[in-house]
C-alpha cells in the first residue's frame, strides 16, 4: 500500500520523505489556506512554488482545481500538469469533474477524483479514466455512515473488473484507518501529518529500547 501525506506544508513533506517511505502528497484548497495561502489566481504562483518543491521530494503530488465548470477545470488541468511530471490534477466528483477527468485521460494527464462518498461515484470516476479516486472515510464516519465499509465495497467492485484506477483512502483520522485500509486492499492511504508521526511509535518499542540500552551500558561499565 502506498502512503501519502495529506498536507500543503513543504517542511512536513521533507520530514516524512526523509524516512524513506513516502510515496506522494495530497493537497486541497483547505490545506493550502491553512498554510496562509489560498488557491485564487493572485496566489497561483505561491501555490505553484509549493507544488514544485513537493514534486522534488515525492513522485506524486495532487494539486486541486478550484474552478467548478468544465472549461475552467480543463484550463487548470492543462496548467497544473505542465508544471511537473509528478503533478496529479485533483478534480471534484461532479458531472463537470467527470468531463474534466475524461478530457485529462485523453491528454495523458493524471487525475485524482476527490470528494467521493459512494460506490457509484467511484465507478463513474473510474470509467471516466481517473488515475486515482479519493473516498473520504472520516467525513462519512462523522455523518454516521461506514467510511471503511465504502472502501471495502469499492474494492469488491474493483475485484470484478479491470480498472487501473487506484483507490486512495482519504480523510483518515486514526491509526486503525491505515490498518483497515490495508486489510481491504486499498492501493493508497493519505494521512495527515499529526497522524503520520504517530505511526512509527509504540510504547513497548520505547520500553524495549530503554531496556536494551540500560543492559548494554551495564556490559560496557
Ligand atoms: O485528503 C482529504 C482530506 O484532506 C480531508 O480530510 O479530515 O478534512 O475530512 P478531512
Find the largest Cα–Cα distance for the chain. 73
Is 190's C-beta closer than 6 angstroms to any atom of ligand 1?
Answer: yes
When pLDDT is cut at 50, 70 and 90, the band that residue 114 belongs to is: very high
pLDDT tens-digit series, residues 54-108: 999 999 999 999 999 999 999 999 999 999 999 999 999 999 999 999 999 999 9
Taking Cα atoms as reference points, which of 113, 111, 174 lies closest to residue 148? 174
Q: What is the mean pLDDT of residues 188-207?
A: 98
Average pLDDT over residues 177-200: 98
pLDDT at 42: 57
Pocket test for ligand 1, best of 24, 30, 196 (most atoms within 8 A of CB): 30
Nearest CA to ligand 1 atom 10: 171
pLDDT value at residue 111: 98
**How many angstroms separate the CA atoms of 13 and 116, rounded?**
25
pTM of the predicted model as reported, rounded to 2 decimal places: 0.94
Q: How far, in Å, is the centroid of ligand 1 from the Cα of 216?
A: 45
As given in the structure block, the three cell numbers for residue 167 are 483507490
152-159 average pLDDT score? 97
Instruction: For ligand 1, say whether the CB of 29 is within 6 Å of any of its atoms.
Output: no
pLDDT in tens, 116-153: 999 999 999 999 999 999 999 999 999 999 999 999 99
54 DSSP 8-state letter: H
Give the residues across from 4 on adjacent strands: 24, 190
In CATH terms, is domain 2-220 a member of 3.20.20.70? Answer: yes
Domain boundaries, the chain: 2-220
Amino acid at each position: 500500500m502506498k502512503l501519502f501525506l495529506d498536507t500543503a506544508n513543504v517542511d512536513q513533506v521533507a520530514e516524512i520523505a526523509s524516512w524513506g517511505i513516502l510515496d506522494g502528497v495530497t493537497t486541497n484548497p483547505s490545506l493550502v489556506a491553512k498554510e496562509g495561502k489560498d488557491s485564487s489566481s493572485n496566489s497561483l504562483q505561491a501555490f505553484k512554488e509549493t507544488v514544485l518543491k513537493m514534486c522534488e521530494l515525492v513522485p506524486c503530488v495532487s494539486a486541486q482545481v478550484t474552478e467548478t465548470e468544465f472549461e475552467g477545470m480543463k484550463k487548470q488541468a492543462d496548467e497544473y500538469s505542465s508544471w511537473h511530471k509528478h503533478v496529479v490534477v485533483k478534480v471534484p466528483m461532479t458531472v463537470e469533474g467527470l468531463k474534466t477527468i475524461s478530457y485529462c485521460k485523453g491528454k495523458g494527464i493524471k487525475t485524482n477524483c476527490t470528494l467521493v462518498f459512494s460506490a457509484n461515484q467511484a465507478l463513474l470516476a473510474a470509467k471516466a479514466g481517473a488515475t486515482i479516486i479519493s473516498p473520504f472515510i472520516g467525513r462519512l464516519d462523522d455523518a454516521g455512515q461506514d467510511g471503511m465499509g465504502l472502501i471495502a465495497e469499492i474494492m469488491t467492485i474493483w475485484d470484478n473488473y479491470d480498472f487501473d484506477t487506484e483507490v486512495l483512502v482519504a480523510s483518515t483520522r486514526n491509526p486503525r484507518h491505515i490498518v483497515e485500509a490495508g486489510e481491504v486492499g486499498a492501493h493508497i492511504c493519505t494521512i495527515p501529518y499529526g497522524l503520520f508521526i504517530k505511526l512509527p511509535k509504540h510504547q513497548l518499542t520505547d520500553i524495549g529500547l530503554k531496556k536494551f540500552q540500560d543492559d548494554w551500558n551495564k556490559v560496557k561499565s
